[in-house]
Amino acid sequence: MNVLLDNFAAFREGFWGTVELTGLSTLLALVLGTLIAAFRVSPVPALRIFGATWVTLLRNTPLVLLFLVVTLGLPALGLKGWDSFWLAVMALGCYTSAFICEAVRSGINTVPVGQAEAARSVGMTFTQTLGNVVLPQAVRTAIPPIGSLIIALAKNSAIASGFNVVELGSVMKTLNSAAGYNIYVIFFWIALCYLIITFAVSGLFRLLEHKLAVPR
Amino acid sequence: MSSSVLYDVPGPRTRLRFRVYGVVSVIGIAALLAFVVYKFNDTGQFQAGLWDDYEYSNTQQRIVDGLLTTLKTFALAALFSLALGAVLASGRLSDHRPVRVVSSLVVEFFRAMPLLIMIFLLYYAIFTTSPMWAVVIGLTLYNGSVQAEIFRAGIKAVSKGQSEAGYAIGLRKTQLMVHVLIPQAVRSMLPSIISQLVVTLKDTSLGFIILFHELLFVGKSFAEQTPPVGGVYAFIPMVIVFGSIYIVMCLTLSSLATWIERRTRRSKKGTPPPLDTPATLMADPGHTVEFEPRDGRPEDPKAL
């Protein structure tokens, strides 16, 4: 108990660090992932190739390597002055966007072709078909995998502790080097913090799933 | 393209419009690439001297050593995690309630913990002198739990009539498992198992953070510790060399999964349909996936 009470400020800072990191990267990943998914199902070959390359490259790269690419690559691009937090958001967001893209795309692909054909045959335009028929069904399929991807993202955010970002993983490291605490006790509290975050995310998604559920 | 949900087969005018979009997007992508190349050139990332390091056989030896370390870690972790997965899965399928409860708790706990935090704990508490074992055991605990869920879902996905028929002709549970359920389940599970092995392979790079001398660690030391040429660190060669090694390794493994999946799909010898689990869907951080084989959903072979 002492570990938590003595270092409550550090824990709070680390907890919010992880929450902010997860939240902002999720936002980036959702926006980017949806965009890339749109590229991958578009009728334009160049965009499809771009999307496929993006997904293949990012899915097969270890996240740590991506962190290195972002932290060393952006300064090399002449874009200096980003602090490590935003670099971590970028790495996590881009990495997860590849998986979100696949979830969204397979959501779209599971909508039966007959649905869209029926919509078009009653005279709906492309926008109407997409907005009223295809997307509402695709979203329902895509939500559970996106939920587990976001939980994975929250857990992956621990990697940012290796790149000078203050979050739960780095709290664990600093408390361990500040000798005198039992490492298992530190681990217990850190583990509890992560469990709070992952349970919150999965609860949120279960709620969302319930809200959207329709008999099909 | 004609079978797409989103649009009909395009007519002549639409084709023209698509071609215009195509040209515009090609220009856009080219502009983006040109910007990146220009900026890299501007900051001197393309100097030939940056590659000098890679010409020494000493350096090449270090890369090979790093690669071997990574592969060794991966092999150990893969082996142990499959074994642990088998044990935990049989625990979760056990007829005895306490065994089921304990193995469910273990699986759920290790799946919910960030792998890096586990590795930190193992490194600081137990394996202070050998980071490799911290990484191997960490990977084993995490991936073993995920594999256990894959195994369990695979066994559950075999149709119920099979086990009923087995019991009816008087097989015991072990016999039923060994002779009836597992042979059928393995076929449908293989793609998921291999996808999770790809995750294991990628996650060996987490050792980098506890300064374990694996492939990525070697790469970083090249990018940062070799004396800079003209004030520039050898960042691009590092990404090209080490990134492509990782990508080739992972792509080889995951194309194996796709190949196996296509083969099982083709042979119709009463195989259950491949699991439509998030782990097959995305070869990722498969992570906390709920495994409920969803029924009756048309599967997209290209989703992999």
CATH number at residue B148: 1.10.3720.10
The reply to whether B47 falls in a domain is no
Judged against a pLDDT cut of 80, whether residue B4 lies above it is answered with no
Bigger pLDDT: B232 vs A22: A22
pLDDT of residue B269: 54
The reply to whether B2 falls in a domain is no
pLDDT of residue B273: 54
3-state secondary structure chain A: CHHHHHCHHHHHHHHHHHHHHHHHHHHHHHHHHHHHHHHHHCCCHHHHHHHHHHHHHHHCCCHHHHHHHHHHHHHHCCCCCCCHHHHHHHHHHHHHHHHHHHHHHHHHHCCCHHHHHHHHHCCCCHHHHHHHHHHHHHHHHHHHHHHHHHHHHHHHHHHHHHHCCCCHHHHHHHHHHCCCCCHHHHHHHHHHHHHHHHHHHHHHHHHHHHHHCCCC
pLDDT by residue (tens digit) across B51-78?
777 778 888 888 899 999 999 999 999 9
Q: Chain B residues with CB inside 8 Å of A113's CB? A: 3-5
pLDDT of residue B278: 46
Q: Chain B residues with CB inside 8 Å of A159's CB? A: 116, 206, 209
State the residue range of the domain holding B103: 53-293
Q: Are residues B169 and B58 part of one domain?
A: yes
**Distance of residue A127 Cα from the nearest chain B Cα, in angstroms:** 10
Q: Are residues B58 and B33 part of one domain?
A: no
The reply to whether B85 falls in a domain is yes
Q: Are residues B266 and B223 part of one domain?
A: yes
Query: For the residues B108-117, what does the mean pLDDT come to?
Result: 90
Query: For the residues B99-120, what does the mean pLDDT come to?
Result: 91
pLDDT of residue B281: 43
pLDDT of residue B279: 43
Phi-psi region of B215 (alpha: psi -120 to 50; beta: other; left: phi over 0): alpha
To test the contact with chain B by mutation, choose from A44, A130, A199, A202 the residue with the greatest count of B C-beta atoms within 10 A, namely: A44
B232 - beta bridge partners? B229
Q: Are residues B127 and B92 part of one domain?
A: yes
Bigger pLDDT: A84 vs A6: A84
Q: Which of B197, B198, B202, B199 is nearest to B214 (CA)?
A: B202
**Percent residues over pLDDT 70 in chain A:** 97
Asked if A52 reaches chain B (Cβ–Cβ under 8 Å), the answer is no
Task: Return the residue of A nearest to B210 by Cα.
Answer: A162
Judged against a pLDDT cut of 50, whether residue B147 lies above it is answered with yes
Q: Are residues B124 and B151 part of one domain?
A: yes
Confidence of residue B301 (pLDDT cuts 50, 70, 90): very low
Lowest mean pLDDT among A34-48, A84-98, B178-192, B210-224: B210-224
Lowest mean pLDDT among B30-39, B41-50, B130-139: B41-50
B229 - beta bridge partners? B232
Bigger pLDDT: B230 vs A167: A167
The reply to whether B128 falls in a domain is yes
Q: Are residues B222 and B270 part of one domain?
A: yes
**Distance of residue A34 Cα from the nearest chain B Cα, in angstroms:** 15
**Distance of residue B304 Cα from the nearest chain A Cα, in angstroms:** 8
pLDDT of residue A167: 86
Q: Are residues B277 and B139 part of one domain?
A: yes
Helical spans, DSSP H, in B93-181: 97-112, 115-125, 131-157, 160-168, 173-176
The reply to whether B301 falls in a domain is no
pLDDT of residue B275: 55
Question: Would you say A160 and A92 are in contact if contact means Cβ atoms under 8 Å apart?
Answer: yes
Q: What is the residue-averaged pLDDT of chain A? A: 87
State how far the Cα of B157 lies from the Cα of A44, in Å rounded to an integer.
Answer: 39
Distances (CA, A) of B51 to B60, B67, B222, B225: 12, 19, 10, 14
Query: For the residues B3-25, what does the mean pLDDT come to?
Result: 84
Number of domains into which chain B is organized? 2
pLDDT by residue (tens digit) across A110-124?
888 888 889 889 988
State the residue range of the domain holding A130: 2-212
Query: CATH no. for residue A98?
Result: 1.10.3720.10
Judged against a pLDDT cut of 90, whether residue A171 lies above it is answered with no
Judged against a pLDDT cut of 80, whether residue B190 lies above it is answered with yes
pLDDT of residue A146: 93
Judged against a pLDDT cut of 80, whether residue B109 lies above it is answered with yes
The reply to whether B298 falls in a domain is no
Query: For the residues B89-106, what does the mean pLDDT come to?
Result: 92
Confidence of residue B225 (pLDDT cuts 50, 70, 90): low
Q: Is B43 helix (H, G, I), strand (E, B) or coil?
A: coil
Q: Are residues B131 and B64 part of one domain?
A: yes
pLDDT of residue B292: 40
Tell me the ipTM for this assembly: 0.85
Q: Are residues B281 and B177 part of one domain?
A: yes
Structure tokens at B20: 């215009």
Q: Chain A residues with CB inside 8 Å of B289's CB? A: 145, 148
Q: Are residues B198 and B172 part of one domain?
A: yes
pLDDT of residue B219: 84
> Do A46 and B278 make contact, defined as CB atoms within 8 angstroms?
no
Q: Are residues B35 and B60 part of one domain?
A: no
Number of domains into which chain A is organized? 1
Judged against a pLDDT cut of 70, whether residue A155 lies above it is answered with yes
Q: Are residues B161 and B18 part of one domain?
A: no
> Do B36 and A56 make contact, defined as CB atoms within 8 angstroms?
no
Bigger pLDDT: A35 vs A125: A35
